[in-house]
A and B are shown apart, each in its own frame.
Chain A
Amino acid sequence: MIYLDNSATTKPFPEVIDSFVAVATNYFANPSSLHGLGMKAERLLAQAREQIAAMLRVKPNEIVFTSGGTEANNFAIKGVAWQYQRRGRHIITTKIEHPSVAEPCRQLEELGFEVTYLPVDREGRVSVEQVERALRDDTILVSVMHVNNEVGTVQPIEEIGALLSRYPKTLFHVDRVQGISKVPLDLKQAGVDLCTISAHKFHGLRGAGLLYVREGVRLAPLIAGGGQERQLRSGTENVAAIVAMAKALRLALERYERDIGRLQALKDEWLEALLAIPDIEINTPRDGAAPHIINFSLKRGVKPEVFVHELEKSGIYVSTTSACSSKKKAPSKTLLAMGLGEDRAERGIRISLSFDNSREEIAPAVAAIKQAIKTLSEVTE
């Protein structure tokens, strides 16, 4: 098996699974329970929070655990909207956000909020000037992803943060789901107010994620109930998955320190091998992209969904750029926004690497890709 779909989900580290099993087995109590076992679960939660906060260089009370990235993105956007709607009802985001940002924005539009969707350039990057021009007196939130999930473009988060530091009434949310452990970002220095992270993108387990909420920012809770997570996110905490997330993050950041050069080199080798294939076009920008995502478009006549299945036969797992395009013919929002044309946007394929991928995989995978293109072209022509 050659697994090249790490931006969809990563394989959990074995140590992470061990932690999950140990916690779920031995410390299964409800962390809110008064008795000693409950207290142990609570301590585990506190320790996970501290460890994660230290790694993100923020304070423990700035971490709100959620069920994952989608919930954290929804919470950031709707939480700001409900809390600050008297301050203003204008939100700025981009045309290339993940659906878990785009959809809540659309829902808010139905409720009378105004949303500006900023365009991106040919490389898939939003410009700081455009953010500045879109800002208004009633702008309460700017939400920009850190690393684009489809093509890997790194957005100018630090620059936007510097701009927004002059607009204290406008909060800054960053969806960092694809960026963490691959592209460094200092939340405090970048002036980020809210930041989304999801465990299963760095070899943790799905069902756990978090929202960084800078001290001083108030959010209306989406999930009300027993008042867990300082009233911000009720629901019995998923202690085992959260502890596993803390461990996964530690291991992933260690891997970053050790292997980022290797991953970058691996991506370059991949790019070189793909560029040598005549019938595909690379969509990921050469500079300013994350070290783990490569996006390319297939030649006309090769359907990306069919291509994915064809590769699967050789035990190679890749993605079409848009997860929901398997049934309806939906062009990639990001590739469209980059101005690559509807046709190219409908034929995007994403390869996403992790620190576990190796260069030995490149040759057989590339051979299989070539073969698949050949086979499918013959069928359709």
Chain B
Amino acid sequence: MPRVLIVEDDPDVRKAVQLGLRHQGHDVLAAETGEEGLEQLGPFRPDVVVLDLMLPGMSGLDVCRRIRHRDQVPIIMVTAKGDDIDVVVGLEAGADDYVVKPVQARVLDARIRAVLRRQDASVSGAVRPRAESHGQLVIDRAGLVVTYRGEPVALAPSELRLLLTLSASPGQVFSRQQLLEAVWEHSYYGDVRLVDACVKRLRGKLGELGGDPRYIQTVRGFGYRFGSP
């Protein structure tokens, strides 16, 4: 039974989502505020966090950043706004997926399962024993540890999967759609923004935001490829 932590300020929505997800067979804990959500993170040890973006007090974005700071738990952002810019900002803050309100419990359940499946897949799929090094970047596929300049890099599940997918075939160009399917398992065109936001985050963590990226290169009009220096 996956444990889901819901952070949602509206009592009706909180209760309804809790009810809906329980009905889908999840073990659900609901937090009213971002602060409470952060507090519950340790004792409850959720498998996934469903985070409302608009919260009183500490905003969903802040909560997302705080969680990312100390935990690699997958985060699904629930946004009432759904404007492109809100989605992109949310994804760049470290969310692994997002859904726009109103959302059916069935859809949310599917997203949660997908996120969890991907996380399992990264672990079980990493059968290659050896750590590869690409310049100062070392990717240990067995231990799922990425180090850059000797320092371990904390990567969110989707970032890790993106990096693993790209670096598996250095030089090969992946379209955004391919990456979307490989990393997020979405089968429609809707959310190439996920890819772009995730690439941006990954570049940030590899210290190559300004100027010319060495590792994750943009191929204009097509997608991305991994460059091994």
Partners in one complex: no
Mark A residues whose CB is within 8 Å of B: none
Mark B residues whose CB is within 8 Å of A: none
